[in-house]
Amino acid sequence: MRFYEYESRRLVEAAGIPVTDYGFAQTAEEARKIAQEIGGPTVIKSQVLSGGRMKAGGVQFADTPDEAARHAEAILQLEIGGHMPRGVLVDPKAQVKQEYYASVVWDGTAKKPLLLFSDMGGVDIEEVAEHHPEHVGRGHFSNLLPFSDFQAKQVIAAAGVTGRELTRLTPILARLAGLFQDRDMTLAEINPLAQLEDGSFVALDAHMEMEDEARPRQKAVLAELGIADDDVREVHEPSPFETKVGAVDAADHRGVIQGKDTGFHGNLGLVIGAGGGSLTLTDAVRSHGGDPANYSEIGGNPSVAKACGLAKAVLEKDGVEKLAVMMSIVSNTRVDIVARGVIKACLELGKEPSETIAIFRIPGAWEEEGFKILERYGIDYCDRSISMHEAARRAVASFQEDPAEAEAEAARP
C-alpha cells in the first residue's frame, strides 16, 4: 500500500531523519494558517496517490499566506491521474544547495534489500543510472544481520561523495535502511534528500510503500497515521463491480473469488480461475478477438453461493449477455460446485443457462458429477482434451450472429 507524502514524511521523521517544518491542510483556510505560521515563501503540494503531480499543476509556489490559500483552493479540486487529493501539504520553500537521492527497494533476484544513493537527486533515478552510472551507488544488505553504518558509507562513497557530506549522510541512509526493515516497506525513497545552504540535510519529499501482507503486524503504525483497515489504497478506485465481488468474497470464508473490471470494456463476462489460469484465459479470449467485460479468479474451492455471487455480479454488468466459465485443470476447486453456482446465477436472474453460458471448460476434481449437471441444463461444456485456447475460441465464436462466419473469423491467425 502506498502512503501519501504527508504520511511518508511522518514515517521518515519518526525514524529520526530530519524533515522540514511542513503542515497538512484539507481546506484553503487551513493552508493559509500553516503558511502564516511558516512565515515565508511556501510550496503547496497536492496529496494524491499518483505520480506526475508537478506536470499536472499539483505543485505551486506561494509568497504570501493569501496566495497559499488560493493555490490550495485550486489544487484541492484538481484531479490527478484519476484520483482526487486527500489534502495539500504546505512546506516552507527551502534554500537548497544540492539535491541527493536515497532509497531502499527489494531485489527479487538477490532476495535482499538494495540501498541506492545518488548525488544527482530531484530527478528520475532510472535516468541518472542510465546516463550517469558513476553517480549511483548501490549495495545489498542482510536480512538476518543488523545493518551497520559501513554499508551506508560504501554506497555513498560509490557515488563519488566524500568529506563532510559522507559523514552527515551516513546516519540518514542507515536510518532509512532501518525504516525499510522495521516497517515492512517495499519502497522507501527520499527524493530529493536536500542539503540546505547551512549544510544540514532534510527529506524534501518521501515516497513510502508498505507491503499489504505486513499490514496486520504494522497495525500500531497505521493507527498512528490514522489509516483504517478498509483504506486499501488501490491504484484505481474500486469500481461498483469490484466492490460487489469483494463483498461476496468477504461474506463467506470458503474459497476465494476476485473480480476486476478497471480497464476492461467488453461484453463477454469471464468467470475464470485460478491465478495463472485466469491470466492465460484472459489472453486467450483477447487473442481470438474477444473483448472481456472483466477479469476474475476462482480458487480454493469456493461454495456454491460464492461462485453464484461472482457469476451474478458479472451478469449484472451493463452490456454483459454471456458468460465464459473456464479454468485450468482443477485439483482443489470442484467442477460440480462451480457448475451449480453459475447455473444458479442464471436462474436467479431469470436467464436461460444454456443460452447464457457460452462455454464451460473446467476439467478436474469431480468433473463426472459436474458434467452431469451441465448436461441436464444443456450447457456446452468440454473436458481437458479441449485446450484452454480452443475453449476461449468457442466462447468468442458464440458471440457472432452467424456461426459459420464466426468460425471463419476465429480460425483466422
**Which of 30, 73, 165, 211 is the binder for another protein (CB under 8 A)?**
211
Buried b (16+ CB within 10 A) or exposed e, 253-283: eebbbbbbbeebebebbbbbbbeebbebbbe
Q: Is 143 in the site for another protein (CB under 8 A)?
A: yes
How many residues form the binding site for another protein (CB under 8 A)?
Answer: 67
The least CB distance from residue 226 to another protein, in Å, is: 22
> Residue 385 carries which side chain, given as an amino acid letter?
S
CB proximity list for 54: less than 8 A, separation 6 or greater:
none
> Residue 297 carries which side chain, given as an amino acid letter?
E
Footprint of another protein on 26-85 (CB under 8 A): none
Q: Where does this chain touch another protein (CB under 8 A) — which range of 37-45, 70-78, 275-283, 316-324?
A: 275-283
Q: Is 283 in the site for another protein (CB under 8 A)?
A: yes
**Which of 276, 319, 378, 403 is the binder for another protein (CB under 8 A)?**
276
> Residue 100 carries which side chain, given as an amino acid letter?
Y
Distance CA 14, CA 16 (A): 5
The residues with which 46 forms a beta bridge, in sequence order, are 88
Q: Is 305 in the site for another protein (CB under 8 A)?
A: yes
**Dihedral, CA of residue 143, residue 148, residue 154 and residue 159, to nearest 10:** 80
Cell 485446450 sits at which residue?
387
Q: Is 373 in the site for another protein (CB under 8 A)?
A: yes
Q: Is 412 in the site for another protein (CB under 8 A)?
A: no
**Is the Cβ of residue 22 or residue 371 nearer to another protein in the bound state?**
371
**Is the Cβ of residue 30 or residue 390 nearer to another protein in the bound state?**
390
Q: Is 260 in the site for another protein (CB under 8 A)?
A: yes
**DSSP of 129-185, one letter per residue?**
HHH-GGGEEEEE--SSSPP-HHHHHHHHHHTT--HHHHHHHHHHHHHHHHHHHHTTE
Q: Is 279 in the site for another protein (CB under 8 A)?
A: yes
Q: What angle do CA 81, 83, 86 make, to 5 degrees?
A: 135
Q: Where does this chain touch another protein (CB under 8 A) — which range of 24-32, 56-64, 142-150, 169-177?
A: 142-150
Q: Is 384 in the site for another protein (CB under 8 A)?
A: yes
Angstrom CA distances, 164 to 119, 161, 189, 357, stand at 14, 9, 22, 71
**Is the Cβ of residue 3 or residue 201 nearer to another protein in the bound state?**
3
**Which of 372, 378, 405, 408 is the binder for another protein (CB under 8 A)?**
372
**Which of 106, 158, 165, 171 is the binder for another protein (CB under 8 A)?**
106
Q: Where does this chain touch another protein (CB under 8 A) — which range of 7-15, 56-64, 116-124, 284-292?
A: 284-292
Strand, coil or helix: 402:
coil
Q: Are strands 23-25 and 59-62 parallel, antiparallel or unpaired?
A: unpaired
Q: Where does this chain touch another protein (CB under 8 A) — which range of 20-28, 29-37, 62-70, 272-280?
A: 272-280
**Which of 109, 163, 228, 250 is the binder for another protein (CB under 8 A)?**
109
The least CB distance from residue 264 to another protein, in Å, is: 9
**Is the Cβ of residue 144 or residue 250 nearer to another protein in the bound state?**
144
The least CB distance from residue 164 to another protein, in Å, is: 33
Q: Which DSSP category does 386 fall into? A: S
**Which of 154, 262, 267, 400 is the binder for another protein (CB under 8 A)?**
262
Distance CA 30, CA 21 (A): 15
H or E segment to which residue 68 belongs: helix 65-76
Q: Is 111 in the site for another protein (CB under 8 A)?
A: yes
Which of 63, 65, 64, 90 lies closest to 76 in space, CA to CA?
Answer: 90
**Is the Cβ of residue 65 or residue 299 nearer to another protein in the bound state?**
299
Q: Is 331 in the site for another protein (CB under 8 A)?
A: yes
Distance CA 207, CA 215 (A): 17
Chain residues that interact with another protein, rule: CB under 8 A:
106, 108-109, 111-113, 126, 142-144, 181, 184, 186, 211, 213-214, 216-217, 235-236, 260, 262-263, 273-280, 282-284, 286-287, 295, 297, 303-305, 327-332, 334, 336-337, 340, 343-344, 347, 364-365, 369, 372-373, 376-377, 384-385, 387-390
